[in-house]
Structure 1
Amino acid sequence: MSPAKINLMLRILGQREDGYHNLQTLFQILDWGDDMTFQQVNQNGQCQIRITGFNDVPEEQNLIHQAAQLLRPMARKQSDWLIDVNKRIPQGAGLGGGSSNAAMTLLMMNGYWDCGLCQERLLQLGNQLGADVPLFIHGRAALAGGTGNELISCQFDTPWVLLLLPDIHISTARLFQHNDLRRNQQCIDTALLHHQDLWINDFFPLLLSIDQSLRQLYQQLHHLNPVRLSGTGSAMFVLCKSRAEAEAAQSQLPQGLRSVVVQAKAAHSTGVEKNQ
């Protein structure tokens, strides 16, 4: 499985000279995401891959393709592969779907092509593809700094998550470039990181102010408290102590809103989707 992630907290500490932003964020990996299958189609080939499961993403823009291209020069086995993806993670949701797919490709093809790269080298390659890719190579919940790529393993008391997946695509670049984005947050001391009342997302008030459809949906969720935003996308979530609590909240969602109840990855449970 190629898992999704949520940002339990996302603070923007400042903009760097290179245009990127320094962040302090808490990542939780979920035990739910895309299914990826890798099938060898030619044992003696040219390190070619074919990707299926995407209808609207040109191959050269697909992070799976880009990840494979990074590995090809280091391959010691020249096999060709078919990579099929059953997408569950929506694009533009802030759940890291493309980054997760790229990380899974780096991890799997590193072995299949006998590249022999250590995790540190894979993390470096992942960082070339996107700020979230190292998280999925890291494979564990983490506190992240820098652009989100400086990772320290953590554990959080977030056993169950109700994911809310509105059919709204959000442009990350547009949000980062917006003049109203707050860019001067203070870094939270590590001793306070488990205080959930400090788990804010600086993009949430901005997104609610500029996206009417998301704002209207959020207003319908006032009985679920607190509703949080993941990353820079449209996906929202509610943290719950038990599956029963999460399913009770799910039963109260507006008609037509896609949702899924999942556990954190460490809990090793399978999510069950629901369309209201």
Structure 2
Amino acid sequence: MSAVEAFPAPAKINRMLRVVGQREDGYHLLQTVFQYLDLADTLEFHSLSAGHFHRSPELAGVPEEQDLCLRAARLLADETGCREGVAITLHKTLPMGGGLGGGSSDAATTLMVLNQLWGCGLKRPDLMQLGLRLGADVPVFLFGRSAWAEGIGERLQALPELSEPRFFLIHPGVSVQTAAIFRHPRLTRRHPPITISAFLAKAPTNTLEELVRQLYPAVDDCLRWMATAGLVEPMLTGSGACCFGRLGDGVEPENLLAGLPEGWRAWVVQGRNRHPLHDLVKD
């Protein structure tokens, strides 16, 4: 294997999220809707001798032994008996701790690309099982389509009818620790479950949002700013910190970007129901 082109690892948003229970092992039971965005990290893969794995550049706070890309590469090699090594160059666009699934998406892209480049021949369900061992959000990026998810996020059902609007996405300059949110004593853990038809018919909600707004004033400020700026149904994605809202009629994204508070980052993005590497893996 030699150097190849850069492969995308797209962001996701949660168009809806409900915590509906908790398992005895501590994992929370969810209902959520995942959709990809056309905003992405990119990864390049270069051949190394068998058993050697490396990622560059360094990421603050993420040692190589904890890096999801390298864990994905090692897991694929170990499970398939593949005698390859790889150097991964990660071009990071997605903010860490933003609720966009960046690390999980990077891991999924690593599994999909190396599965092809190494000739492992694993099909989508096999890769999804490997991905689940890396993290609950990894399988949705391997699934390849927008999805209704239940369980801990691993039970997926395609949602081809989901709209693909333009969103205004904001990172308000803070990083939210997902584990801390789910451990918090004030988190409501047993919201009533809903159906897909109810989600499609009603305004979406994220049941983590109230607690995150209380604990992170910057997120509360962001959602208030978005509401006054005319964005439609602004809400938190995942556990945050990123927030998104649809661009309504007459709302000019250039004006929003010009008026963005200091320390915030923002993007105009498009919802996508199909992962850009969907065809790399056979069902």
Question: Please, what TM-score do these two structures have when normalized by structure 1?
Answer: 0.88
* Correspondence for 2:176: 170
- Alignment RMSD (CA, Å): 2.2
Aligned residue among 127, 135, 142 for 1:122: 127
1:140-180 superposed Cα distances (whole Å, 9 cap, x missing partner): 11000000111111032242111101220111111001111
1:192-271 equivalences in 2 (<5 Å): 192-197=198-203, 199-224=204-229, 225=231, 226-240=233-247, 245-266=252-273
Aligned residue among 162, 165, 183 for 1:159: 165
Aligned residue among 44, 53, 65 for 2:57: 53
1:75-114 equivalences in 2 (<5 Å): 75=80, 78-114=83-119
Asked if structure 2 preserves the Cα contact closer than 8 Å seen for 1:74 and 1:115, the reply is no
* Correspondence for 1:274: none
Cα deviation for residue 216 of structure 1 reads 3.3
Using the aligned pairs only, state the percent identity.
Answer: 37
1:236-257 superposed Cα distances (whole Å, 9 cap, x missing partner): 0012367965445444432442
The list of structure 1 runs, each at least 4 consecutive aligned residues, that deviate by more than 6 angstroms after superposition, is: none
Aligned residues: 265
The secondary structure found in structure 2 opposite 1:264 is strand
1:102-122 superposed Cα distances (whole Å, 9 cap, x missing partner): 001111111222222111110
Taking the aligned partners of 1:124 and 1:267, their CA distance within structure 2 comes to 20
The secondary structure found in structure 2 opposite 1:13 is strand
Taking the aligned partners of 2:135 and 2:275, their CA distance within structure 1 comes to 26
User: Once structures 1 and 2 are overlaid, which stretch shifts more, 242-251 or 45-54?
Assistant: 242-251
The secondary structure found in structure 2 opposite 1:145 is strand
Aligned residue among 183, 186, 191 for 1:185: 191
The secondary structure found in structure 2 opposite 1:221 is helix
The letter for the 2-side match of 1:191 is S
User: Once structures 1 and 2 are overlaid, which stretch shifts more, 91-100 or 248-257?
Assistant: 248-257
Taking the aligned partners of 2:235 and 2:214, their CA distance within structure 1 comes to 15
Structure 2: which 5+ residue stretches go unaligned? 1-7, 277-283
Taking the aligned partners of 1:243 and 1:77, their CA distance within structure 2 comes to 54
The secondary structure found in structure 2 opposite 1:71 is helix
Structure 1 position 142 matched with structure 2 position 147: yes
Taking the aligned partners of 1:114 and 1:220, their CA distance within structure 2 comes to 49
Taking the aligned partners of 1:267 and 1:244, their CA distance within structure 2 comes to 27
Taking the aligned partners of 1:267 and 1:183, their CA distance within structure 2 comes to 31
Taking the aligned partners of 1:242 and 1:264, their CA distance within structure 2 comes to 17
Asked if structure 1 preserves the Cα contact closer than 8 Å seen for 2:144 and 2:275, the reply is no
* Correspondence for 1:10: 17
The letter for the 2-side match of 1:194 is L
The letter for the 2-side match of 1:55 is L
Taking the aligned partners of 2:252 and 2:31, their CA distance within structure 1 comes to 29
Asked if structure 2 preserves the Cα contact closer than 8 Å seen for 1:159 and 1:267, the reply is no
Cα deviation for residue 218 of structure 1 reads 3.3
* Correspondence for 1:24: 31
Taking the aligned partners of 2:117 and 2:53, their CA distance within structure 1 comes to 12
